[in-house]
Amino acid sequence: MTAKQRNKDPILAYPLWITVPYTLFVAVLTPFYWLRYGPGNFLWFSDLALFAVLISLWTGIRLFYSTMAVGVLPLQFAWCVDFGTGGRLIGLAAYMFDPKKPSHMRLLSGFHLFLPALIVFMLMRQGYDRRALKTQTVVAWGVLLASYWLTPPEKNINWVHGLGQGPEAQKLLSPRTHLGLYMVLLPVAYLPVHLVLKRLFRP
């Protein structure tokens, strides 16, 4: 069996009652996000996960959702917990309760609630691709560099200019020093997630 065959198992294809609604949701979200936030917004890791999962649903390729499991699952779970507290715990989901934000945009941002559950479902159904740690590290480095060079600093996509948003972002380090440390430490943060996934889910 070739590596391609091992990575794609048609027996484990996803049913249309999951794939089609998810596809329609992404198709609706994309133009709304593009027009309001601009194309650079899709560099957020959570937005990339939205598209990676979409590809996996249609193709059955494990590597796409496995890399997102390493890269975004902990933060997505943290977002869900924060949402449950009304955005008061750590502030990740605080914007969901801001009446100044358009209600339809907050509704679309609700994908953070079901995305982690869907990724876990895919891990249970198809397993975890052990190449995800290396792949996600390389992808993340590319995304961070793109976020730094191609998007406005005030948007601080993926926190490449400092942790936090707006005036709350850290100012102790220069942006480039922060970015360098970020890129070095990110694989260290990914490693325990990879080890947990590797233990919990079959290859």
Residue 4 CA: distances (Å) to CA of 1, 70, 133: 8, 21, 18
Whether the CB-CB separation of 89 and 82 falls below 8 Å is answered with yes
Report residue 80 as tokens: 């869900």
Local confidence band at 100 (pLDDT 50, 70, 90 cut-offs): very high
Local confidence band at 166 (pLDDT 50, 70, 90 cut-offs): low
Local confidence band at 22 (pLDDT 50, 70, 90 cut-offs): very high
User: Can you give the residue ranges of every domain in the chain?
Assistant: 3-200
Average pLDDT over residues 155-167: 77
Scan for tokens 């209600």, then name that residue.
Answer: 103
**117-141 residue pLDDT tens:** 999 999 999 999 999 999 999 999 9
Q: Is the per-residue pLDDT at 147 higher than 90?
A: yes
**Model pTM score:** 0.88
Position 105: which residue type? Answer: M
Local confidence band at 66 (pLDDT 50, 70, 90 cut-offs): very high
Report residue 116 as tokens: 């982690």
Local confidence band at 165 (pLDDT 50, 70, 90 cut-offs): low
- Listed as own residue / partner, the contacts of 24-32 with beta carbons closer than 8 Å and 24 or more positions apart are 25/111, 26/50, 26/51, 26/54, 28/108, 29/108, 29/111, 32/104, 32/105, 32/108
Average pLDDT of the chain to the nearest whole number: 90
